[in-house]
Amino acid sequence: MLSNNRNLLFKGIILALCIISCVHLFIFPLFETNTDSNIIRTYLDFEQSLCLNNIRKKRSFNRAKCPQYGIITVMQGGRLGNQIWEYASVWAYARETGLEPYIPRCIKLKLETIFDKLSLPTFETISHCLVQTDLFYLPSAKAFPNNTLDAWHFTNQSIILPKYITSPELISTWVQDITQEFSIKKSLLDKSHRILQAAVKCVNISVKTFIGVHVRRTDYVSYIKRKYNAEPVDSKFFLKAMDMFEKKYPDSIFIIVSDDPKWCWKEFKFKKNAYVVGKYHGGSSTPALDLTILASCNHTIFDYGTYGMWGALLAGGETVYYDLNPEYSSHKLGRYMKNWHSL
């Protein structure tokens, strides 16, 4: 008898659950039962997956036509120098392949604090469009650029460029156009101009040629040892490069920016025509301002890092860089830039 009662109770519970499920499905059909936030349905969701950190989802009232063919975009990675490369790579690959370019807002918002009128659109205007992530191709960084570029011409397949991408050969063919894309804000240029004028007064010599010097240390000291089993650059490299420029441009002044200005001041304070920005402007120096200072100079000396590379590209003129490794990105870029020289 007790067993029968238990069976009846169990059947009653099952029946009740079935009724509740039916009521939910028929009365509340607009509510989704799957609430997994990682499911990508639209380009708004897709954009979030490309960024390092969560960004506020934003839809545009000015809706563009949904992409009919392939698009090209990139994953966010690294700091300022890396993200300039990521933007530039999308810009250049879009022109080579004919794919529509889109930049994640997390990258463009960062770059817009420095540059005016960046032309590549974000996913905001197509945020309403559905996306098929299985149609995207995400190659490894080793696949770039030479052995895949020819196959991508006029492809309809969407491509996600990997984070930390550098595209030396491709960028070198578009260097004049891409540097115009990165038009620095007037407020930063004005600050840079004041610092350069202060440097001229400080050294108290007749100056006509500004040589920007970027010294990368801090985290890169251990990175160089770990990645390339090499010792970091010492002051001898910079002094030799300075000597080369002084022989060619006797009216030179060296404007030194670095993530370790104390080290720079210790190593170069004896040079009357050297000016360490961080020594005099400590708290007011920022990555954006330092990059603007490098871009405002006539020529460049840098050791390594994507930041120094872009300082040199934006400055134009001659560049002397440290020949760290044949596979390093600055060495690859230097092969294509006629006015770049390794030391």
Q: What is the mean pLDDT of residues 29-46?
A: 58
- pLDDT level of residue 182 (50, 70, 90 thresholds): very high
Please tell me which residue, 60 or 246, carries the higher pLDDT value: 246
Q: Which residues pair with 116 in a beta bridge?
A: 183
Residue 103 within any structural domain of the chain? yes
Asked if residue 19 has pLDDT above 70, the reply is: no
Please tell me which residue, 88 or 35, carries the higher pLDDT value: 88
Asked if residue 136 has pLDDT above 90, the reply is: no
Closest CA to 343 of 233, 246, 265: 233
Question: How far apart (Å, rounded) are the C-alpha atoms in residues 320 and 179?
Answer: 19
Confidence (pLDDT) at 284: 52
- pLDDT level of residue 15 (50, 70, 90 thresholds): low
Confidence (pLDDT) at 21: 45
pLDDT digits (tens, 9 = 90+) for 255-293: 999 999 999 999 999 999 999 998 655 545 799 999 999
Same domain, 230 and 82: no
Range of the domain at 210: 186-342
Percent of the chain with pLDDT over 90: 56
Asked if residue 22 has pLDDT above 80, the reply is: no
Confidence (pLDDT) at 264: 95
Same domain, 57 and 161: yes
Contact 88, 57 (CB under 8 A): no
Among 128, 163, 181, give the residue marking a domain's end.
181
Residue 11 within any structural domain of the chain? no
Same domain, 176 and 212: no
Question: How far apart (Å, rounded) are the C-alpha atoms in residues 277 and 256?
Answer: 6
- pLDDT level of residue 56 (50, 70, 90 thresholds): confident
Same domain, 264 and 312: yes
Same domain, 150 and 250: no
Residue 30 within any structural domain of the chain? no
Same domain, 164 and 280: no
Confidence (pLDDT) at 89: 95
Same domain, 203 and 254: yes
CA distances from 134 to 67, 190, 274, 304 (A): 15, 47, 55, 37
Q: Which residues pair with 56 in a beta bridge?
A: none
Q: What is the dihedral sign for C-alpha 111, 114, 120, 123?
A: positive
Residue 294 within any structural domain of the chain? yes
Same domain, 248 and 106: no
Residue 9 within any structural domain of the chain? no
Asked if residue 241 has pLDDT above 50, the reply is: yes
Q: What is the mean pLDDT of residues 39-64?
A: 81
Same domain, 174 and 203: no
CA distances from 37 to 32, 59, 125 (A): 12, 17, 21
Same domain, 261 and 141: no
- DSSP string computed for 98-166: -PEE---HHHHHHHTTTEE---S--GGGGTTSB--GGGEE---GGG-SHHHHHHHTT--SEEEEPTT--
pLDDT digits (tens, 9 = 90+) for 292-333: 999 999 999 999 999 999 999 999 999 999 988 887 888 889
Confidence (pLDDT) at 70: 85
Q: What is the mean pLDDT of the chain?
A: 84
Contact 188, 289 (CB under 8 A): yes
Residue 239 belongs to domain with CATH number:
3.40.50
Question: How far apart (Å, rounded) are the C-alpha atoms in residues 116 and 122?
Answer: 15
Question: How far apart (Å, rounded) are the C-alpha atoms in residues 322 and 242?
Answer: 13
Residue 74 within any structural domain of the chain? yes
Closest CA to 295 of 197, 203, 187, 193: 193
Question: How far apart (Å, rounded) are the C-alpha atoms in residues 119 and 265?
Answer: 39
> Can you give the length of the chain in residues?
343
Same domain, 208 and 327: yes
Residue 23 within any structural domain of the chain? no
pTM: 0.84
Domain count, the chain: 2
Among 129, 148, 181, give the residue marking a domain's end.
181
Same domain, 136 and 199: no
Residue 33 within any structural domain of the chain? no
Backbone torsions φ then ψ of 142, nearest 5 degrees: -70, -15
Among 141, 162, 181, give the residue marking a domain's end.
181
Please tell me which residue, 195 or 131, carries the higher pLDDT value: 195
pLDDT digits (tens, 9 = 90+) for 205-225: 888 999 999 999 998 889 988
Asked if residue 32 has pLDDT above 90, the reply is: no
- pLDDT level of residue 113 (50, 70, 90 thresholds): very high
Cα 329 versus chain centre, distance: 14
Burial class (CB in 10 A: 0-12, 13-18, 19+), 260: middle
